[in-house]
Structure 1
């Protein structure tokens, strides 16, 4: 089930920013959620691989990763040893992959929701932030995967765990997941962008053709926060005040330039 929550005032954002569960075993508050910000509430959830390769993604994915590893080895010598590292590194440089970006920071999710290439569009349409509960996804995993993640008292996989479970094979992963489960992975800190964005990835198996339908059919705690278009500039200005901007999520001159351009944009 997917619940929609419409946000029309700044005050209504507070639950999104403070969602945590009390853990009596730790006497601390911890969040089981990850977030995905999208600049238009009408956008569907697709991986870049499915957008790029359409119905041929299963056939073309191996060639995409093989060629990326072949030409990227000079920049990242270890890239050939793990198909998961190939996907993670490639994802951050625009390579079409089956990975779907998420973040454990609601602020980062809001940042992407209130970002537009064309700033004239900021108040033309609503934006949204998706929220999923990682614990729910663990419940649907095959037993070997569930055992592996529970053994570490976690809900998140690493590249080493996936490599061990699948033998570094995407075909094995697809067979194991079928159309009823998928893994959330925390990437290694390959670059500063991954660190600053508090990045997580959903590794979408080829058996799941419609991600939103999968979430609707298999989860009870998924929320889609719809942020009214009249509020977008106000949220954007608040995030800047909280030091959450392109300058942070895209460290380097590119992010700095994007932030300055928007800061001095004349409405």
Structure 2
């Protein structure tokens, strides 16, 4: 079930930013959630592979990854023996993949929700932040996947774990997941952007064509926070004050240029 929460004031953002659970075994507070910010509340969750290749994605994905690895291996040798590393590196450079971006940081999620390529659109429509529970996602997995992650006392998969479980085979992964589960993976720190964005990825199997339908049917702790369009500039300016901006999520000259352009934008 997906719970929809509407946020119309700055104060109503606080629960989104402070969601933590007390862990008696650690005597600490830890968040089981990951977040995905989207700049328009009418948008639907699709992978870039699905948008790019449509009904041919299952047939074209191997060729996309093979060609990416062939031409990119000189820049990142580690991708040669792992389709999962190929996906992760490619995702951050615009390659169509089955990965769906998430973040462990609610602030990063908000940053993406409050960002528009065309700043004229900022107050034209509501935006949203999705929240899912990683523990709940693990419970949906086949037993061998659950045992693998529980053996690490975690809810998070690594590329090495996924490679071992699937034999580095996308077809095996799709068979294992069917239409009722997907793995959440924490990527290796291949670049500073991945680190700064506190990146996580949902590895969407071919059997799940409707991601939101899957979440609505199979989860109980998924929340869609819809943030009023009239609040967007206020939250955007607040995030800048909290040191959460394009300069952080896109380290380097690209992020600096995006931040300067927005900072000096005239409404």
Q: Same fold (TM over 0.5)?
A: yes
**1:33-72 map, 5 Å:** 33-72=33-72
Question: Deviation of residue 79 (structure 1)?
Answer: 1.4
Distance in 2 (alpha carbons) for counterparts of 1:87 and 1:178: 20
Distance in 2 (alpha carbons) for counterparts of 1:195 and 1:73: 21
Structure 1 runs of 4+ off > 3 angstroms? none
**1:84-163 map, 5 Å:** 84-163=84-163
Please say which of residues 71-80 and 101-110 is displaced more in the overlay: 71-80
Query: Which SS does the other structure have where 2:75 is aligned?
Result: coil
Question: Deviation of residue 74 (structure 1)?
Answer: 1.1
Distance in 2 (alpha carbons) for counterparts of 1:84 and 1:29: 31
Residue in 1 that maps onto 2:80: 80
Long gaps (5+) in structure 1? none
2:192 paired with 1:192: yes
2:207 paired with 1:220: no
Query: Which SS does the other structure have where 1:132 is aligned?
Result: strand
Question: Deviation of residue 81 (structure 1)?
Answer: 0.7
Question: Deviation of residue 114 (structure 1)?
Answer: 0.3
CA offsets 1:163-200 (integer angstroms, 9 cap, x no match)? 00000000000000000000000000000000000000
CA offsets 1:48-70 (integer angstroms, 9 cap, x no match)? 00000000000000000000000
Distance in 2 (alpha carbons) for counterparts of 1:26 and 1:210: 37
Distance in 2 (alpha carbons) for counterparts of 1:188 and 1:226: 31
Residue in 1 that maps onto 2:3: 3
Query: Which SS does the other structure have where 1:101 is aligned?
Result: strand
Question: Deviation of residue 23 (structure 1)?
Answer: 0.3
Residue in 1 that maps onto 2:243: 243
Long gaps (5+) in structure 2? none
Question: Deviation of residue 6 (structure 1)?
Answer: 0.2
Distance in 2 (alpha carbons) for counterparts of 1:236 and 1:247: 13
| Aligned-pair Cα RMSD in Å | 0.3
Distance in 2 (alpha carbons) for counterparts of 1:176 and 1:240: 43
Residue in 2 that maps onto 1:211: 211
Question: Deviation of residue 255 (structure 1)?
Answer: 0.3
Question: Deviation of residue 80 (structure 1)?
Answer: 1.0
Residue in 2 that maps onto 1:259: 259
Distance in 2 (alpha carbons) for counterparts of 1:229 and 1:43: 14
TM superposition score normalised by structure 2: 1.00
Distance in 1 (alpha carbons) for counterparts of 2:258 and 2:186: 27
Question: Deviation of residue 77 (structure 1)?
Answer: 1.4
Query: Which SS does the other structure have where 1:201 is aligned?
Result: strand
